[in-house]
Amino acid sequence: MKERRLASRYPLVLPVAVSGVPVLEGILQGQTRDISAWGVYFTIDRRLELGTRFSISILLPEAVFGGSRVSINGWAKVVRVEEEEDNAVKHVGIATLIESREIIRLGESKP
């Protein structure tokens, strides 16, 4: 099978927040499994339907940016959904296409 991805994926476990889903209230918390320039795969405890568009926020490690808190914020679309089970805990894997994004510096951390 030929690889169809447009960009390399990097295995990163980072906190992710999902909001703006029309049928859900509030913010869903999860974590990434891998990330690329054009997409992100993450797990949450709720199923999202294919084609759903939502707001996404990924908090990057402070050490990468010299003690600054940085977040990637944007809009994404669900392109694949997978049911997962890890040690009897069920999660939903969500593969997304990032439609727009911006990097936001949230502030400096205290030593």
For 34-88, give the DSSP string: EE-SSEEEEEESS---TT-EEEEEEEEPGGGGTTEEEEEEEEEEEEEEEEEEETT
Kindly report the CATH number assigned to the domain that includes residue 49. 2.40.10.220
Q: What is the mean pLDDT of residues 84-107?
A: 86
Structural domain includes residue 21: yes
Q: Is residue 77 part of a domain?
A: yes
Q: Is residue 3 a part of any domain in this protein?
A: no
Q: Flag whether 2 is in a domain.
A: no
For residue 74, the model assigns a pLDDT of: 96
Number of separate domains in the chain:
1
- State how far Cα 30 lies from the chain centre: 8
Question: Is the pLDDT confidence value at 5 over 70?
Answer: no
pTM comes to 0.83
What letters, b where the CB count within 10 A reaches 16 and e where it falls short, cover 74-104? bebebeeeeeeeeeeeebbebbbebeeeeee
Percent of the chain with pLDDT over 90: 60
Tell me if 70 is assigned to some domain: yes
99 in any annotated domain: yes
Range of 92's domain? 10-108
